[in-house]
Amino acid sequence: MGSGALAIVGVSILTFAFLHVVPGDPIDHLAGGEATPETRAKLEACLGLDRTIPRQVVGFFGHIADGTLGHQCPDPEAKPTVAARIFAVLPHTLALALAGMILAALVALPLGVLAAVKRNTWVDTAITVGTLAGIAVPMMVLASLLVLVFSAELAWLPGPTELGFAALILPAVAVGAHLTAMLARMTRGAMLDVLGEDYVRTARAKGVPEWRVLFVHALRNALLPVITVAGLQFGSLLSGAIIVEKVFARPGVGTTLLDAIAERDYPVVQGTVLVIAVTYVLVNIAVDVAYGLVDPRIRVA
Amino acid sequence: MRPAAKFGAAMFVAFVVLGVVGPWIAPYDPTHVELAQRFAPASWAHWLGTDSYGVDTLSQLLWGARSALEISCSVVAISAVIGLGLGTLAGWFGGWIDELVMRAVDVLMAFPGILLNIAIVATVRRPGLGVVIAALCANGWVSYARVARGQVLGLRERDYITAAVALGASNRRIMFHHLVPNLLGPVFVQMTLGFGAVISIEASLSFLGLGAQVDYTWGAMLAQGTAFLWKAGFAHYVIYPGAAIAWVMFAVNLFGDGLADRLDPRARARL
């Protein structure tokens, strides 16, 4: 928990520092080469760059504290605050990441159990090769091919720029494929460990049906390491969402970040990075706590 | 080594060879624009066809292999040296050095996936190869530091280290002669997997338009390819660079797993 709080402070400091490690003048980037001195002065004041560094730090953390995360320059009055812009699209990204996670769990657990039960048969080999492919194929390629096959060719599912539940399926598959492969491999390994345990043999000996042995006695114990990895990988789903949102032209934190980078809108870039990183840290803390609840042997310090 | 690992190693060697000789055997210059040849299908003149500028696709792939090799070699080498150094120092000295290194690790790991890389590259207007390499190293060293530190914590309790301390060996001597040689194995596994990670991150950055603006990269080819996705018969603009990246990822995963399996029992036998 303490290291989580420290990580959030560290992330904030690094995010603040970005604007100051820019080679050259950020105002030049923002205003272009031939900006008038008035425009430059206005931009500088808006970004707070006319103040001393300590006062900028205070301003930066002030914007975090008051929940605005700063203003969009050059005309802060006309546009919503950075926080408003980000939180308007954050639910889309969280829904995408969550859908990817659920999909990964639904597909990976049965596959992993099946591979473990049928170990060293062609079923196991096929699942192993499939999971390797899931790790090897880059997310943007998978996303593009999914659009091509299921949206452009077959027209089964809605494609880019659309929203709604059906439109969430393809992006969720793209975001979750890597995690699915990882979880399936982990489940297989954990199941193989557990299936050799005495209590599994005892359960079988006393005549418990095989499906009960597998899914109640074995899988429950094999799940713990899998849950940890799934939780820790939530961050990779968030950053994967950046890529998938681009392919599917979905609104979200990722597209907001990329737009802000293209527009050189530094407060929005800083705000987006901060929100994604803090979300990630909070999820990790939640996973730690949940892990302790699931397994009483582990207590969060 | 298992057959799968050997297969992965062979695939990896093929990538390295093509990355080294690629630009010499490429039939065209990847900057050679021939607008009359736009979207040419596969032919004897252009084995894999041409792109929207009439640039030969095969040549782009081969030059892309060179870029991928340059970036991944640099990032893996620099990250491994930094991570190995900091991890060994942290594990051996403990105390405030350990605190400092591990807190830095915590903070860098608080950025999920490629977010930190995006943030760094985004601050530069037209990033070159050097900027991308620096951005990838900024958090690339973390995994090596964790592996090295973990190994050192295990090694420092061993008798031969105690003996070296008792004999009055200097910290430097213990670290360079007794610790580092014994943790190279796990670090090497990490380096193998690192190649795949770097190539996939670099491709993602290029795909997002944030990659090195210098040469031909697989990620940039992908970004261009996805623009034609809606036209029938244009899928190969995504499939060729995608297959190239998948090739390397497949290779390092097979090879890395095999290496880890092979190193592990020996490590156990030594204990």
Q: ipTM of the predicted structure? A: 0.80
pLDDT for position B46: 66
Contact B252, B195 (CB under 8 A): yes
pLDDT for position A23: 56
Q: Is B254 on the interface with A (CB under 8 A)?
A: yes
Chain A, residues 81-110, CB within 8 A of chain B, namely: none
| Amino acid, res. B191 | M
How sure is the predictor about B127, in pLDDT bands with cuts at 50, 70 and 90? Answer: confident
Residues in A closer than 8 angstroms to B247, CB to CB, are 136
pLDDT for position B75: 93
Query: Which range, A204-218, B28-42, B153-167, is most confident?
Result: B153-167
Among all chains, which residue has been given the structure tokens 């345990």? A197
Query: Residues with Cβ < 8 Å from B44, sequence gap 6 or more?
Result: none
Average pLDDT of the segment spanning A200-219: 83
Lowest mean pLDDT among B66-75, B172-181, B234-243: B234-243
- The pLDDT mean for chain B works out to 82
Q: Is B209 on the interface with A (CB under 8 A)?
A: yes
Average pLDDT of the segment spanning A163-183: 83
Token pair listed for A160: 């880019």
Q: Please, what is the Cα angle at A9 between A65 and A236, to 5 degrees?
A: 105
Query: Residues with Cβ < 8 Å from B201, sequence gap 6 or more?
Result: B114, B117, B136
Return the DSSP state at A52: -
Are B204 and A138 a contacting pair at CB < 8 A?
Answer: yes
**Mutating which of A142, A239, A275 best tests the B interface, going by the most B Cβ atoms within 10 A?**
A239
Are A277 and B204 a contacting pair at CB < 8 A?
Answer: no
How sure is the predictor about A295, in pLDDT bands with cuts at 50, 70 and 90? Answer: low
Are A10 and B246 a contacting pair at CB < 8 A?
Answer: no
Determine the angle formed by the axes of helices A53-65 and A2-21, rounding to 10 degrees: 130
Nearest to A243 among B103, B109, B208 (CB): B208
Contact A139, A177 (CB under 8 A): yes
Task: Establish whether the linkage from the previous residue to A74 is cis, with ω within 30° of 0.
Answer: yes
Chain A, residues 141-160, CB within 8 A of chain B, namely: 141, 144-145, 147-148, 152
What pairs with residue B50 in β-bridges? B56
- CB burial of B56-82 (b: ≥16 within 10 Å; e: otherwise) equals bbbbbbbbbbbbbbebbebbbebbbeb
How sure is the predictor about B214, in pLDDT bands with cuts at 50, 70 and 90? Answer: low
Chain A residue with minimal CA distance to B122?
Answer: A261
Residue B207: pLDDT above 90? Answer: no
How sure is the predictor about B77, in pLDDT bands with cuts at 50, 70 and 90? Answer: very high
What percent of chain A shows pLDDT beyond 70? 83
What pairs with residue B56 in β-bridges? B50
Q: Is A280 on the interface with B (CB under 8 A)?
A: yes
Nearest to B193 by CA among B258, B117, B104: B258
Contact A177, A146 (CB under 8 A): no
Are A141 and B242 a contacting pair at CB < 8 A?
Answer: yes
Chain A, residues 25-54, CB within 8 A of chain B, namely: 29
How sure is the predictor about B78, in pLDDT bands with cuts at 50, 70 and 90? Answer: very high
pLDDT for position B83: 93
Residues in B closer than 8 angstroms to A239, CB to CB, are 112-115
Residue B82: pLDDT above 90? Answer: yes
Nearest to B112 by CA among A83, A248, A257: A257
Model confidence, pTM: 0.83
- Quickly count: other Cβ atoms within 10 Å of residue B195's Cβ: 24
